[in-house]
Structures are given as C-alpha cells and as structure tokens.
Structure 1
Amino acid sequence: MSITTADKRATFRKLHETGCFVLPNPWDVGSAKALAHLGFKAIASTSAGFAWSIGKADNRVTLEDALAHLTALCDAVDLPVNADFEGGFAHKPEKVAANVARAVKTGVAGLSIEDSTGDAAKPLYERAFAIERIRAARAAIDADNSGVVLTGRCEGFLVGQPDLDMVIDRLRAYSEAGADCLYAPGIQTKEQIAAVVKAVDPKPVNLLQGWVGLSATEVADLGVRRISIGGSLARTAWGGFMRAAREIAEKGTFTEFGNGYPGGELNKMFG
C-alpha cells in the first residue's frame, strides 16, 4: 500500500508527541533520498541549502522556486517533509496565508514561519504584527483540515537581538496564535534551551544544531522534541566540493578525490 500525504502528516504529528527526533535538511532530491535510505523518520527543507544548489544566496529564492522544490521533495520520498518556508514569502498576514495555502498543496507535513523582516534597521516584525502572521498561517492550514504542523520561529538570536526574555515572550504568543511547535534558532546553551522548553510546555520545541555542540542525547535530556540542522549538511557537502575544486585550480592535483564517497555505493543506494 502506498504512503499517502495524509499518512505522512499523521506520522509527523505523532513524532512530536513524545521523545526526540532528528529532522535533517536535504537540499535536493538526491540528498533527500539518501537521508531516507539512512533511516531518518522525517526530513526538512533548508532555504539556504536549496538556494546554494540553484546558484542563489539564502533568502533570494522565489516563492515559485520554493514551491517547486517542496513538491519535488515530497514526491521523492515516503517520509514527512517539513518546509523551511522562511517568512511566508510575504509581509502582510493575508498574503502569508495565501502562500501557506499553496505550500500545503505541495504535500508538506509541516512548515515554519519566521518573524524576521530582512531589514537590518528593523530586523523583527513588530510583535502584534508577527502574531497576526502566525494566526493567518494557522487559518490557512486549517482551511482544508490538512493537519500540517505549524512551527512559529523567533529569529532574535540570528538577527542580533539575543534577548531570551523577548524571544520566549514571542514564542508563547505564537503558541497562543496557533503554532504547534516553537523554534528559536541560535540558542545554544543548556540554560537557554531548558528555559525555552519550560516556557512553552507542553508544546514541542525545535532546536537548531548547526555547529559542533550538544549531542542528540543531551538535547533530548533537556526536553527538546525535534532537532534540525539547517544548511549544515549542504555546507559540509560544499566544503568537500570546494576543497577538491580549489586544489585542482590552484595546484593541478587531485588528492581530495580520495575523500569522496564511493560511486558504487551511491549507485547501490539510488538503484
């Protein structure tokens, strides 16, 4: 029996109920299939990783680019796919709602909405406006009873406003506005993580692990329900590519090829 979109969404919701799971971020169909092969229970898109794969900087991908990418990921694997939907590709709540409705149609099991503006002078949306954006996304998801998990993100730590009290206040407000899961990318210490988990309990918390830090077990012990890694796998892949390409360009040698993954193994995995 084939796995339906409804099955994926039910599975994704179930994953948020107990325990802690890692939600790795592929950047294309091949990396998505590889993560499925490795046994992960769900995956999430990465705005940065996808942008780099099509020769763009992060936050320069269009709505149409993102929707096509999400459709491809959902069609490629039998796993739930969570969408890094940036800021909803719009400012006004009603437009966020319209775009979220389109994202739901791609087959995603979850999506996140950020509160960053992209404006260095005023990096976060005004609190009440940010709440309305989450509320609009919630309404769009509920319009067809899709069951998509909505994650509310406060970007304070990523935009130079690392005020934990402010971040927690916003996350609580996003929870009340309908977010199923809460996310404060950039928090790193055990104290920060534990404070966020406690503040939004019983709602699940997503933690970004984009650097060498706490292990999955340590994070789980702090009460985190979901771990994502953003563009880190993509950066790791680009690291190998750039080291090998730079060696060829600068030295005319090819020693980095020895660190590549065996082509035969890749053929077996995708066969």
Structure 2
Amino acid sequence: MSKADMFRALHHHRVPGDPLVLPGPWDAASARVFAEAGFPALATPSAGVAASLGHEDGQVPADEMFAAVARIVRAVDVPVSADVEGGYGLAPKELVERLLETGAVGCNLEDSEDGVLKDPRAHADWLAEVRAAAGDRLFVNARVDTFTCGMTETDPAVERATLYVAAGADCVYPIGAPPEALPLLRAGIQGPINVGALTDEGPSPAELGARGATRITFGPGLQRRATRALREIVAGLRR
C-alpha cells in the first residue's frame, strides 16, 4: 500500500469521538517531534511554515513552500499532507507534479483569495482538474472559506462542499465553522470533514469528533504556542 493509500484509509471507518488528529509541523524538527510522539500522519499549516521562513501568511513564494514541505517529508516516515493555499496560480497538472516531487501525499486547497470567495462552480471545475491530474496519488482536502469570509449560516458551506466532493475532493474543510454548527455540516456533507481545533481551549478533538469531525488540524496553533513557550524560556535567561 502506498503512503497516499495509507493516508486515505486513515480517514475512513472512524467512530464518533475518534477523529484523525493531524499535528501541523512547520519545519523538519517539529515534524520529527510529532512523528516520534506516535501520530500516524501530519499536515503542514501554511501560516506556520510561513512564520518559520520569515514570511507573513500568504506571502511565501511557491518555490520556498515546496522546498519547506520537501524538508518536512524527508524528516519523517509517516505520510504528510501539505497546505498549499490557493495553488500559487499553477495549472492543475503542474501543481500536482510539484506536490508529488516533495513527497507529500495530500494537499489543502482554498476557495477564497484575499478574503473573497471564488466562484464555487469554477473552483469545483478546477478541483476536478487537480483530481484528474493526481489520480489516487494525492488526497485532496478542499477548504470551504464561507465562515472566514463572514457567512454564518451552514447552507453556503454545505452547497460548496457538495460541489467539491462531486468534483473529486476526498475531504472538505469548512474552516472557522463554530463547533455548534458541526452536526448540521455533518448531516449535509458526504465524506470526511476536517475541523480546526485550538491547542489550549475550546472543545477537545474527541468532542469535535463526537459532533461530526472526521479529522482535526490545528493550523498554525502549535507553531504559535511553541513560539510563546520559547519566549518564556528566553525571558528566563535574562533574569
């Protein structure tokens, strides 16, 4: 079984309350920590990687992001999925080729740009092209940005998710969805659902799983928490 097949299998036949938890490494060292802790797979956060490279979120040149992902993949034996934002303007075939060159087995792809939602049908067509180019070699996690773009109802998220699943997405990620909305999203969406969790407050991964989450990611939360811890350590050195 390939790593992509292994990664895909981790998303299926999960029982409520037992979601797939995917820590987000921002460099090779953090990836090794998570893998050594026993997590079966990892998912890079674009904002965390950007911080490690000295960039603001959304400002990382494509070559730097792919190189960073490749270093993370090389550092561990477990499958790694990569957050590649909106695809950096690359054609689907080139995007897939660049991802496969890093060794990644999956990707996050956003459906907004600069805070503006893309046309859902056009985006679904683009996702279908990515799926066709990737075949079963990549697990496609289609981000749904309705909540972060100011919409509060679940219907727009469900409508977009339905289009993306029909286009071949393996999983959908209604980023920013409030925990109380998860049962409605679960009822309206076919297939795995990615939910973002906080690292120090809010519902636990198990609680989010019980509400309908298939997998849990943390965005840049772990990188930012590690940075806060490092600041505390450094402050102690100056006393």
Do the structures match in fold with TM over 0.5? Answer: yes
Cα offset for 1:50? 0.7
Deviation string, structure 1 residues 100-149 (Cα, Å, up to 9, x no partner): 3311222111111110111x4xx11112221122112112212xx52x11
Counterpart of 1:204? Answer: 192
Counterpart of 1:101? Answer: 97
Is contact 1:210-1:231 (8 Å) kept?
A: no
Deviation string, structure 1 residues 64-95 (Cα, Å, up to 9, x no partner): 111111111111111010111111111xxx72
Letter of the aligned partner of 2:145 in structure 1?
E
Identity of aligned residues (%): 32
Counterpart of 1:89? Answer: 88
Runs (5+) with no aligned partner, structure 1? 1-5, 255-271
Runs (5+) with no aligned partner, structure 2? none
Cα distance in 2 for partners of 1:174, 1:97 equals 18
| Structure 1, 16-25 or 128-137: larger mean CA deviation | 128-137
Cα distance in 2 for partners of 1:74, 1:113 equals 19
| Structure 1, 236-245 or 205-214: larger mean CA deviation | 236-245
Cα offset for 1:243? 4.0
More helix by share: 1
Q: 2:119 aligns with which of 108, 113, 126?
A: 126
Counterpart of 1:116? Answer: 112
Matched residue count:
234
Counterpart of 1:253? Answer: 238
Q: 2:175 aligns with which of 179, 185, 194?
A: 185
Query: What pairs with 1:59-70 in structure 2 (closer than 5 Å)?
Result: 59-70=58-69
Letter of the aligned partner of 1:126 in structure 2?
D
Counterpart of 2:230? Answer: 241
Cα distance in 2 for partners of 1:180, 1:23 equals 16
Using CA pairs below 8 Å that are at least 6 residues apart, which structure has the higher relative contact order?
2
Is contact 1:8-1:78 (8 Å) kept?
A: no
Is contact 2:83-2:108 (8 Å) kept?
A: yes
Segments of 4+ in structure 1 off by > 6 A? none
Is contact 2:66-2:99 (8 Å) kept?
A: yes
Is contact 1:85-1:111 (8 Å) kept?
A: yes
Is contact 1:32-1:77 (8 Å) kept?
A: yes
The reply on whether 1:52 has 2:45 as its aligned counterpart is no
Is contact 1:117-1:125 (8 Å) kept?
A: yes
Counterpart of 2:38? Answer: 39
Q: Matched residue of 1:82: which SS?
A: strand
Q: Which of the pair has more CA radius of gyration? A: 1
Cα distance in 1 for partners of 2:153, 2:212 equals 21
